[in-house]
Structure 1
Amino acid sequence: MMLRSFVGKVEKGVSHIVQRRPAVRYYSEGTSVGDDVREGYFAVLAMKGGESKRFIVGLHYLNDPAFLGLLRQAEQEFGFRQMGALAVPCQPQELQNILDASRP
């Protein structure tokens, strides 16, 4: 039940990104949404151990169990205050592996 609520909040937040509302820089200059985010996608910043990388991720990943695990970790570490690119607490290569494993 809590996961459904969390995913609902993420989807609601993503809808703001998709509509191209101005990003609030919460973490650093690298967290802005940018013009490269098309409808149906959202920006994710994988950051851990001083390493970070920005990804453009399709909304269909919101159904992937491994990606949802990262969202739960992001909730615990950062809360729901994130604006702009969604930050997840993992190494960029870890996120890349998750995205590669569940590619349609």
Structure 2
Amino acid sequence: MAKLSTNSKKNNGIVKLKTVVKKLQNSLLLGKNSSIYSETRDSSSNQVPEDVKEGHLAVVAVDGDEPKRFIVPLNYLNHPTFLRLLEQAAEEYGFNREGAIT
């Protein structure tokens, strides 16, 4: 019976993760005039950092107090290995956030 509960939790986590990935993909398709973009960007700087090339996004992972920044190609958002990594992170650390990932 415990195995059924574990599988149910795992499937629920995968569904949530897929929803988050879908929202992230959709938010990346928004134009510069969207309200989400204008609310989150720094009004003093209209430039993307030089190391973030077109078709990429910056991701910050924190290990303890040590943040590490990665530049990730957007096509990784659909790659099975990357999705599996996100699923493993959700299982290990939990993920109960609704809305945009910041």
* TM-score of the two chains, using structure 1 as the length reference: 0.48
Structure index of larger Rg: 2
Name the structure, 1 or 2, with higher relative contact order (CA <8 Å, separation 6+): 2
